[in-house]
Structure 1
């Protein structure tokens, strides 16, 4: 298995323009991590991509995945078509960055649509995109995220219905907590379809969703049952990180484990601690 870090781990500093993609890459290199997951929201055109590629080559590093934030669940058919084109165009960016893995989302339910309708649009979008992905040697990895593709069976159903080797799962082990699913059980269900895996830990806090808006807590997320979780360093929360890593290792998984830290406090310190924990768990 190969350890990676997602740029989202330092998103507060990247969005705040405190650091650049180059700084993030250097941070990973200094922490002994060879693989980085890059996001389209932090890349600003060809000039930026060129600098990233040059630094990666200089440091002998590689991009594990290129992640985008598409939404295939739109009432307007022209909007859905534009999102499919966005996915297709992003395949070229992924290849330019040197990776064949493209992280994608399903989408978000809107007023006036049924769950079945939403899933149909997600499947139709991926079926069209998969035709090009197969030609280009791209693997789209669908993250479990939100109400439409948050649970493992939802992700599995979308992948099965799309029926293409170009669509697999990006299993975010922390996100399963937000839909009240045991992360290890979810990983076991998706085992044969996992193409990428996000390592994220969350810890339940003594709040309800109704109280969340009033609370002065960083990086808190409401689960579908109204309970609240806070992002935390790997190994300090409620996600069985070590058990998941052990299971994936024993299952023969040789792909990426990409840290996506979403905890409170200094993200540089938190991510560094996550790297140390994950490396120890992988090597044990």
Structure 2
């Protein structure tokens, strides 16, 4: 078996320019069209009406403009990624979260997107052993994700959770949720780099979760030991290691081994570069895509 990947970008890779207004989303779409990229994922950061990435508060005319621009540029919109938090004992709050994510399913449909990633908890860096809290949160996470997946199925949309945000970043927790939800259109957005945030070995965890992958994110990190002193600009893994975003192929993750695992699988579909490094984002995207293609072709 040989995996067949369509390489593109997450809009999060362009966050440095989108957030300052240096680039608009239509300009990003045009840049992707002129690049070697084949698609663009839209990553929503908050629900603001003036967000450059369409949100549920956006003017419908702007949503239609983005869909039309992508179609005319020949850039498929591959995935809509949104935040969500089902870690609550407040039933009204949980219901509000479910309905909000269902509105994003509607937005995905309007954008012509058939894949959507939603988080299941907020980004919480909980100290110590959070296993009891995970067990407590699991029923509401599963119930909410199941309702959303069933709603999305009526629109031909596949939903997913990502190994993302520490609380559900480990490969086994992602799989446990997928199996518990037990809907054919509920899968995972598989970020090959995020496993290092919880000190897992990416090539091992990627291989474990590939059978459930809807979309793959290519990402890289520089990794330094917990007792190192690399200075500002780094964050810590669950176990205390220092991490910093890198151009795909420039960091310390064994992406060649990851590429071999993907090639050995039957995964085919969208692979998005998610650049989080210090370099200019256009340079990071261009070089990251070239490196990802080379790694995949030579793995």
TM-score (norm 2): 0.87
Q: Deviations over 1:185-237 (max 9, x none)?
A: 1111112111111100001136669x78xx332xx321011111110011111
How far off is 1:280 after superposition? 2.3
Measure the CA separation in 2 of the matches of 1:208 and 1:23: 43
Q: Please, which runs of 5 or more residues in structure 1 have no aligned partner? A: none
Measure the CA separation in 2 of the matches of 1:19 and 1:198: 23
Alignment of 1:1-284 (within 5 A): 1-41=5-45, 42-43=53-54, 44-108=58-122, 114-205=133-224, 215-217=231-233, 220-284=234-298
Measure the CA separation in 2 of the matches of 1:21 and 1:11: 10
Measure the CA separation in 2 of the matches of 1:120 and 1:148: 15
Larger proportion of helix: 1
Measure the CA separation in 2 of the matches of 1:99 and 1:242: 30
CA contact under 8 A between 2:80 and 2:113: conserved in structure 1? Answer: yes
Evaluate the alpha carbon distance shift between residue 207 and residue 187 of structure 1 in structure 2; reply closer, same or farther with a 3 A threshold: closer
Deviating more after overlay: 70-79 vs 152-161: 70-79
Q: Please, which runs of 5 or more residues in structure 2 have no aligned partner? A: 46-52
Measure the CA separation in 2 of the matches of 1:48 and 1:110: 35
CA contact under 8 A between 1:173 and 1:239: conserved in structure 2? Answer: no
CA contact under 8 A between 2:188 and 2:215: conserved in structure 1? Answer: yes
CA contact under 8 A between 2:170 and 2:195: conserved in structure 1? Answer: yes
How far off is 1:123 after superposition? 0.8
- How many residues are matched? 279
How far off is 1:2 after superposition? 0.8
Measure the CA separation in 2 of the matches of 1:206 and 1:12: 28
CA contact under 8 A between 1:118 and 1:148: conserved in structure 2? Answer: no
Measure the CA separation in 2 of the matches of 1:227 and 1:283: 31
RMSD after superposition: 2.1
How far off is 1:45 after superposition? 3.0
Measure the CA separation in 2 of the matches of 1:31 and 1:216: 32
How far off is 1:138 after superposition? 1.2
